[in-house]
Each structure stands twice: as structure tokens, then as C-alpha cells.
Amino acid sequence: MARISWLGAAVLLGAAVALAGCTNPYNPGQRALGGAAIGAGAGAALGAVTGGSAATGALIGGAVGALGGAMTTPQQSAPPPQGYYGSQPPPPGY
């Protein structure tokens, strides 16, 4: 019976990590959801491994992951000015 729960936890954690990579890194809401998914999966796995409650681990991990994802959103940089690339002539002999 323990083998089935390990397999299920591994599949869920793998799916959470794979889906978390499909977010926009500059959107705080999407980063919070991605962080919550990873945190919930990791919290449930750690709760099950340590003999605690997987549900409690998922709740705590999801909350911490959501906060971490939202708080670490990077600032989006401005695009390069128009004509930035290719505006200079090639060097002589090129």
C-alpha cells in the first residue's frame, strides 16, 4: 500500500513541477500559482515521508510557495531601442 502512495506522490510532484514551468515569469499571479503548486506537492510529499499529515504539509507548502512565487517576481526589462541591432556598419574586412 505504501508503494502506491509513493508512486502517486511522485506523479503529482512531477506534474506540478512540469506545469509550473508553463508560467509567465513576469506575472506575479502566475508565479504565485506555480509556487503554490510546487510547494503543495513538496509539502504533501514531506508530510507523508515524515509521518505527519500530507494534507497539512500541502496546505503549508502551498501557502509558502504562493508567497515565495509572488514575492520573487522579477521586473520586466525594457526592450532595446529601435535600430539597436544592425545599426552599425560591419567592421572593415568583415
Q: Which pTM was predicted? A: 0.58
* pLDDT at residue 86, rounded to an integer: 55
pLDDT of residue 64 exceeding 90: yes
Asked whether 32 and 72 are in contact (CB, 8 A), the reply is no
Bigger pLDDT: 25 vs 44:
44
pLDDT at 16: 72
Every domain of the chain and the residues it spans: 12-71
Cell numbers representing residue 73 in the block: 517576481
Is 80 exceeded by the pLDDT of residue 59?
yes
Give the residue from 57, 39, 40 showing the smallest Cα distance to 48: 57
Mean pLDDT computed over every residue of the chain: 79
